Structures are given as structure tokens and as C-alpha cells.
Amino acid sequence: MKDSLSQSSTARDRILIRLKRGVPENPAPLPSVPQDHEHFTSYLDVKDRDSLLGRFQHRFEALQGEFFLVDSPQEAGKALSNLVSGIEPNRILSQDDSLIEKVLKSSSLASEKVKSTDDLLAQDSLSFEAYEIGVTTAFKLVARTGSIVMTCRQAAGRRLSVLPPLHIVIAKASQLIPSWEEGIESLRDESDFSYASFITGPSRTADIEKILVLGAHGPKRLALILIKE
């Protein structure tokens, strides 16, 4: 890469010189950061959890997300049991996380050894293709658009939340936030990640005659088990 590096650095200088010639002497000030309440009808300035929850569920379900509201990790276990019924436990992969572990213990998978990403790491073979279901936590939940914010930390990497055909997210109602503005702000605080994603519904496409089809390349189904406590 040595050659190309020196090529790149000459090119860099030349590009920047040309650009600097086009920069105005007295540029207009940079407008302040756009505010959600200034732009969006669906801006939520209410902080109470019920209206955030209502809005989130409404948007999430409108996009065919499967939403399960439960009171406790024990109940979450039941919801999870329903979601995974019929699937071989060895085709389920979960993020290594204490909340997920608690939920797993109350589910039909309690007596099974569900593999976690850490197990895979230990074996040094991250072959994800064999898995039908990926189970992760979330970083935040954005009420305005029904989006799940995830960094590669919550998803335990980049693949677990996108490669398996069913992605199950287990989260708490306290993670609800009103807007993308707050979502982005909290990502700025959480600087230590290489990848983050706002996930809004299961994978989709309308490339053929604008007909909506779910499950283009990412998960065909996206389920959220939200624990109220």
C-alpha cells in the first residue's frame, strides 16, 4: 500500500487546494443543530412512559414488528417460549447478557444450553449461518418512529442482529426515549463502538413494482419483548 499511500497524499493535497479556492471568504454561519420539535409533527415532548410506549407500539406494529409487552422477566420468558417454539434450541444464538439469561431461565429453553456469542468466540468459529434466531438487547427505543437503536455492543457484534431470519430483542420500558435527537445524543455519549444502527421494522424491499416484501436480506421477522418493570 506504500505506493498508493503516497499517491493518496498527493491527491489529498491537490483536492484540498482546489476546494480551498472555492471556499467563500466570509461564509454564512453554520445553522444551529436542528431540533425535533421544530420539524416533526410527531415530536413527543411528554416524558411519561405510557405515551412513549403507546407511540412506540403503534409505529413498531405498523411496520409489522411483533410486539410483546410483559410485566417481568419471568413473563418475558413465556413470550420467548412462544416465539421459539418449533425451533431447535441449537439453532438459537443469544447475546451474553444478564437480562437475557434471566429471561432464558424462565422460558422453555431453561434446561437447554443456548449458545451465546461468547461461546462461539471461545471456539474461534463464528459460523452464524446455522442459526435461525438471534436474541439481543437494545441500546435505546425511539418512540417517534418505533425504532430500536443498537450498537455493536448491545447486539454483541454486527452479525447477530442481521444474519438470523428472526431477530428477537429483549428490552426494558425504561429504555424508551422520545426522539432520534435523544438517540443520537446518547450515542455521542457512548463513544466506544465501531457500529450502530437504528432498526425500524423487519428487513423489506419494494424494488419489484413497488410491491412491499418483508425479509429481503436481513431478518424476515423482528420481535420485541418489552419488560415494563
Partner 1 sequence: MSQLQSFLDNSENKALDEIHRKKIIKAVTSYDQTVIGMKSEQFKDWAHSREVAGKIKQATLDRLPDYLEEFESKIQARGAQVLWAEDAQAARSFIDEIIARHKVKQVVKSKSMTTEEIDLNEHLEEQDIEVFESDLGELIVQLAGEKPYHIVTPAMHKSKEEIAELFNEKLNSDPDSTAEELTMTARAFLRNAYVTSQIGITGANFLIADEGAVVMIENEGNGRLSMACPPVHVVVAGIEKMLPRLRDLPLFLPLLSTSGTGQEVTCYNSIIKGPKGEEEVDGPEHMYVILLDNGRSELFQDEEFQQALRCIRCGACLNACPVYRTIGGHSYDTTYQGPIGSVITPHLRDLASFGHLAQASSLCGACTDVCPVKIDLHHLLLENRWRSKKAGLSGIKWELILKIWAWVFKSRSRLNGMSKFIQLTQGLVRMLMPKSLREKVPRRAKKSFGELWKERQQ
Which residues between 208 and 227 bind partner 1 (CB under 8 A)? Answer: 208-211, 213, 215-219
Task: Give the closest residue to 146 by CA, choosing from 204, 219, 200, 186.
Answer: 200
Q: What is the CA radius of gyration of the chain?
A: 22
Burial of 81 (0-12, 13-18, 19+ CB in 10 A): middle
Task: Give the closest residue to 71 by CA, choosing from 178, 225, 223, 175.
Answer: 225
User: Is 16 or 110 the residue whose CB approaches partner 1 more closely?
Assistant: 16
User: Is 27 or 86 the residue whose CB approaches partner 1 more closely?
Assistant: 27
Task: Confirm if 110 and 76 have CB atoms less than 8 A apart.
Answer: no
CA distances from 45 to 32, 33, 169, 179 (A): 20, 18, 26, 9
Of 36, 101, 112, 132, the one binding partner 1 (CB under 8 A) is 36
Based on the shown chain and the rule CB under 8 A, indicate whether residue 6 belongs to the binding site for partner 1.
no
Residues 155-214 that bind partner 1 (CB under 8 A): 156-160, 162-163, 179-181, 183-185, 187-188, 192-211, 213
HSE at residue 105, side-chain half, CA atoms within 13 A, is 9
Site string for partner 1, 55-94 (x = CB under 8 A): ----x---x-------------------------------
Based on the shown chain and the rule CB under 8 A, indicate whether residue 42 belongs to the binding site for partner 1.
yes
User: Is 113 or 122 the residue whose CB approaches partner 1 more closely?
Assistant: 122
Based on the shown chain and the rule CB under 8 A, indicate whether residue 134 belongs to the binding site for partner 1.
no
Based on the shown chain and the rule CB under 8 A, indicate whether residue 48 belongs to the binding site for partner 1.
no
Based on the shown chain and the rule CB under 8 A, indicate whether residue 34 belongs to the binding site for partner 1.
yes
